[in-house]
Chains A and B, each alone.
Chain A
Amino acid sequence: MAQSSADQTLLKRSFRRKRLRENAAGLFFISPWLIGFLLLMFGPMVFSLGISFTEWNMVGSPKFIGLENYVHMFTSDPFYFKSMIVTFKYVFIMVPLQVVFAILIAVLLNRATYGIKFFRSIFYLPSLIQGVTLALIFSWMLNDDFGPVNYMLELVGLPRVHWLTDPNVALYALIFIALWGVGSPMVLYLSALRSVSSEYYEAADIDGAGPVRKFFNITIPLITPTILFNMLTSLISAFQTIVLAFVLTGGGPANSTYFYSLHVYRNAFTHFKMGYASAMAWVMFILIVLLTGLVLASSKYWVHYEDDGGGR
């Protein structure tokens, strides 16, 4: 009796040790990121949180003003909600479009056709061009007067579009350009699709399911973990988007592409209101955390893990 209980504690202990070792290995593997985060990001983050309660223009010492920065953004900054709305519009159009396009292309590229490897490379290649380079290329592509896009529109008899200079169009042009990077999530979906076991489709074939039914009832559910992952990452990066607008439109025309991030940047490095910019950045951070949490919470209703063993 005593023997067996001792055995049990021993077992428990060894189990705990094993878990500890597993955790240690995990921590060890993420240590480069962890150490980098602690050394290079955590400090500045704490600093910016402190600064967000002050008025500070980088020279001289910060002046403590309590919650004034936070009050100002919600009550008397005429650009605050405007930039917030622009950002939300961008996120909620861009992210779903990206998910849909990436899946569609991945499905097309998941066929065993002749030269499929070539097509996969071709569809992936554009996403290697990112950031400022992408912006500069599109500043020429979408140029009002001698850009190839307008030239082609004119060839087929359509009117020229002021892609980046019409307040009603510019935001959608930026979304279009951002979708250029659809290749990287596409690759993820492709690998997810390829790991879907063909048994499911064979079984469905026997039951007489058509391709549409198979797509929605087998393919989509089985790649939902990838959809979740991709949605989260692109949601976060879309909220922080700045490069395209910064290079191509500067937030214009008529502030139609004036993203939240640009408002933060402008306050920090044009008006040199570091305190206010930090406060705004923190509000955005909290907002992203909340939205991410929301998506994660919702995921138990729509994400299926194959190895769930009956679901939790």
Chain B
Amino acid sequence: MSMSRSKDNSRNKRWFMLSLVAALCLSLLSACGGKSESGANSPGTAANGGNKGTEGNEVTLRFMTWDSGQTLQPYQNAINAFMEKNPGIKVKVESVPDNYDQKLLTSLASDTAPDVFMAWNYPLYVPGGALEDMQAWVDKDNYDLGKYYPILMDYMKYDGKLWGLPTTYSTRAIYYNKKLFDEAGVPYPQDGWKWDEFVDTVHKLTKPGQYGFIMTPDDVMTMQPYVWSNGGDMVSEDGKTVEGVLNSAENVETMTFLKQLYDASSKINSAGKFSTNNGLESFQTGQIAMFDNGMWPLGDILKEGKLDIGTVTHPLPEGGSLKGIIHTSGYSMPKSGKNKEAAWELIKFMSGEEGIKIITANKFAFSPVISVDEENGYAADPYLEAFAKELEGSDKLIASMRNEKWSEAEDMIRAGVQAIFYNNADIQSTLNDAAKQAQAVLK
């Protein structure tokens, strides 16, 4: 009797333990399930909210951008102005500073894309057929596209169709730290300076703990102004031919110069650490005397006021002309959008005179609308003059806008440039090989 009771007891105990474990597992599971459910539903609920809004004649739009914090503020200001003007439309901003393309593509694939989003890499999104053709909306309203810089409109197109209206734009120029120039007794660079002068200046400004310039083999994209100004290109206009274009005699000259620049400046130091934007920190701490960037950091540098800086256009080869590179993006909407009418209103406002004026205030960026750009007068600003000049001669699309497979072809070219910079590989034969490999990717 007593034995069976103790057995019962232990069995009870065991069942108690088991059910406890089960309860724990269940609660864990439900926690997980709840999380993933809410994750999957959140865009849906937002869309629902929008639908409910339509019934009450109020629409909620989702607007997605990669800008965040300080760089988001100008856009937020414009959106606030838009909402004031259009009381029936509410705009919810979604800021995605990391993995933007990834997020956008997933949402396009699952029909949960935001109503309006910023995009720059049209060759990536367009082939899937998820983007709304904007030409129809332009035609419907007789919207005047002539007010924009024509070169910027080229960036809004792919495959001959229009996919967005421009947001803002920036070119790239060379920033220089006046104090470091004074210390070394080197005169400030002037617009129209030559490649030789550049290399020479970099030499003079490089000493232990300080670099004249950062030249990295990793950032193939920003090598394009040098390539273009020497009459070369990375890929044919139609984006299909690399062989014979990348490995041209002009590009061998350009690459020889870039290699000189690399040797004169940071050498090994630049790799990895300094890519498109990362040199900024080193520039601000006076570690590098010159650096290549868009106009975005200018406002902060001037506001901080610690650095005495100047800006100058890219140096040119003998007999070459200035051909700047352009960073721009467009406002687009998905084909599957539910509030396209309202989305179009928002895009028109943001990309039109009113919105652009708000966004480009305080030297945040250049305006794609020519009249606003002139009114802003940034071209006459001592710091922005160089950036404005870079636009004047710019007549080429960056290579990534010409072929949807460019990012992969660029990997091949980057490996070639690395071999040239790091291992002193023969320039002509390395470019030949890289061109061949890149060609195989583009097919």
A contacts, CB < 8 Å to B: 28-29, 31-32, 35-36, 40, 57-60, 76, 78-79, 144-145, 162, 164-167, 170, 248-250, 252-255, 266, 269-273
Contact A57 B128 (CB under 8 A): yes
Q: Which of B253-292 contact A (CB under 8 A)?
A: 268-273, 275, 287
> Which 8 pairs across A and B sit closest by C-beta, in order of nearness?
A59-B128, A253-B271, A60-B128, A252-B272, A58-B105, A254-B418, A165-B271, A271-B408
Cα–Cα distance between A99 and B183 once the two chains are bound (Å): 53
A253 in contact with B128 given A59-B105, A78-B415, A78-B437 (CB within 8 Å): no
Q: Which of B108, B130, B271, B437 lies at the interface centre, i.e. has the most chain A CB atoms within 10 A of its CB?
A: B271
Q: Across the interface, which residues of A come within 8 angstroms of B218, CB to CB?
A: 250, 252
Q: Which of B106, B287, B411 lies at the interface centre, i.e. has the most chain A CB atoms within 10 A of its CB?
A: B411
Q: Across the interface, which residues of B come within 8 angstroms of A248, CB to CB?
A: 272
Contact B269 A162 (CB under 8 A): yes
**Per a CB cutoff under 8 Å, which of A57, A76, A255 touches B124?**
A57
Contact A59 B127 (CB under 8 A): yes
Q: Across the interface, which residues of A come within 8 angstroms of B424, CB to CB?
A: none
B69, CB-defined interface residue at 8 Å: no
Contact B440 A76 (CB under 8 A): yes
B258 to chain A, nearest CB (A): 16
A145 in contact with B287 given A57-B105, A59-B125 (CB within 8 Å): yes
**Per a CB cutoff under 8 Å, which of A145, A253, A269 touches B268?**
A253
**Per a CB cutoff under 8 Å, which of B99, B217, B405, B415 touches A269?**
B99
Q: Which of A28, A170, A252, A266 lies at the interface centre, i.e. has the most chain B CB atoms within 10 A of its CB?
A: A252
Question: Contacting chain A: which of B24-32, B53-61, B154-162, B192-200?
Answer: B24-32
**Per a CB cutoff under 8 Å, which of A57, A165, A249, A250 touches B269?**
A165
16 further interface pairs, Cβ-Cβ under 8 Å (given A36-B32, A165-B273, A248-B272): A32-B29, A57-B105, A58-B106, A58-B109, A59-B108, A59-B109, A79-B415, A145-B209, A165-B269, A165-B271, A167-B422, A252-B271, A252-B418, A253-B418, A266-B411, A269-B102
B96, CB-defined interface residue at 8 Å: no
Q: Across the interface, which residues of A come within 8 angstroms of B268, CB to CB?
A: 162, 165-166, 253
Q: Across the interface, which residues of B come within 8 angstroms of A40, CB to CB?
A: 32, 36
Q: Across the interface, which residues of B come within 8 angstroms of A76, CB to CB?
A: 440
Contact with A along B205-242 (1 / 0, CB 8 A): 00001000000011000000000000000000000000
A119 to chain B, nearest CB (A): 36
Contact B273 A164 (CB under 8 A): yes
A144 in contact with B269 given A58-B105, A59-B108 (CB within 8 Å): yes
Contact B127 A60 (CB under 8 A): yes
B285 to chain A, nearest CB (A): 9
Contact A255 B29 (CB under 8 A): no
Contact A271 B125 (CB under 8 A): no
**Per a CB cutoff under 8 Å, which of A28, A32, A167 touches B28?**
A32
B407, CB-defined interface residue at 8 Å: yes
- How many residues from B make CB contacts under 8 Å with A? 44
A253 in contact with B422 given A57-B105, A59-B109 (CB within 8 Å): yes
Can you list 10 pairs linking A and B with CB atoms under 8 Å apart? Answer: A59-B108, A144-B273, A145-B209, A250-B275, A252-B418, A254-B415, A254-B422, A270-B407, A271-B408, A272-B105
Contact B407 A35 (CB under 8 A): no
Cα–Cα distance between A268 and B127 once the two chains are bound (Å): 16
Contact with A along B93-134 (1 / 0, CB 8 A): 000000101100110110000000000000011011110000
A6 to chain B, nearest CB (A): 26
Residue of A nearest to B28 (CB): A32
Contact A165 B270 (CB under 8 A): yes
Contact B422 A272 (CB under 8 A): no
B89, CB-defined interface residue at 8 Å: no
Cα–Cα distance between A248 and B271 once the two chains are bound (Å): 11
Contact A57 B407 (CB under 8 A): no
Contact A272 B101 (CB under 8 A): yes
Contact B29 A35 (CB under 8 A): yes
Q: Which of B284-319 contact A (CB under 8 A)?
A: 287
Q: Across the interface, which residues of B come within 8 angstroms of A35, CB to CB?
A: 25, 29
Q: Across the interface, which residues of B come within 8 angstroms of A255, CB to CB?
A: 415, 418
Q: Which of B67-92 contact A (CB under 8 A)?
A: none
Q: Across the interface, which residues of A come within 8 angstroms of B129, CB to CB?
A: 59-60
Cα–Cα distance between A254 and B130 once the two chains are bound (Å): 36
B431, CB-defined interface residue at 8 Å: no
Q: Across the interface, which residues of A come within 8 angstroms of B99, CB to CB?
A: 269
Q: Which of B403-430 contact A (CB under 8 A)?
A: 405, 407-408, 411-412, 415, 418-419, 422-423
Contact B272 A253 (CB under 8 A): yes
Q: Which of B29, B124, B127, B408 lies at the interface centre, i.e. has the most chain A CB atoms within 10 A of its CB?
A: B408
B361, CB-defined interface residue at 8 Å: no
Residue of B nearest to A248 (CB): B272
Q: Across the interface, which residues of B come within 8 angstroms of A59, CB to CB?
A: 105, 108-109, 125, 127-130
Contact A57 B209 (CB under 8 A): no
B145, CB-defined interface residue at 8 Å: no
A164 to chain B, nearest CB (A): 6
Cα–Cα distance between A272 and B408 once the two chains are bound (Å): 10
B18, CB-defined interface residue at 8 Å: yes
Q: Across the interface, which residues of A come within 8 angstroms of B184, CB to CB?
A: none
Q: Across the interface, which residues of B come within 8 angstroms of A252, CB to CB?
A: 218, 271-272, 418
Q: Across the interface, which residues of A come within 8 angstroms of B380, CB to CB?
A: none
Q: Which of B102, B105, B272, B412 lies at the interface centre, i.e. has the most chain A CB atoms within 10 A of its CB?
A: B272
Contact A58 B271 (CB under 8 A): no
Contact B411 A79 (CB under 8 A): yes
Q: Across the interface, which residues of A come within 8 angstroms of B18, CB to CB?
A: 28
**Per a CB cutoff under 8 Å, which of A29, A31, A164, A270 touches B272?**
A164
B21, CB-defined interface residue at 8 Å: yes
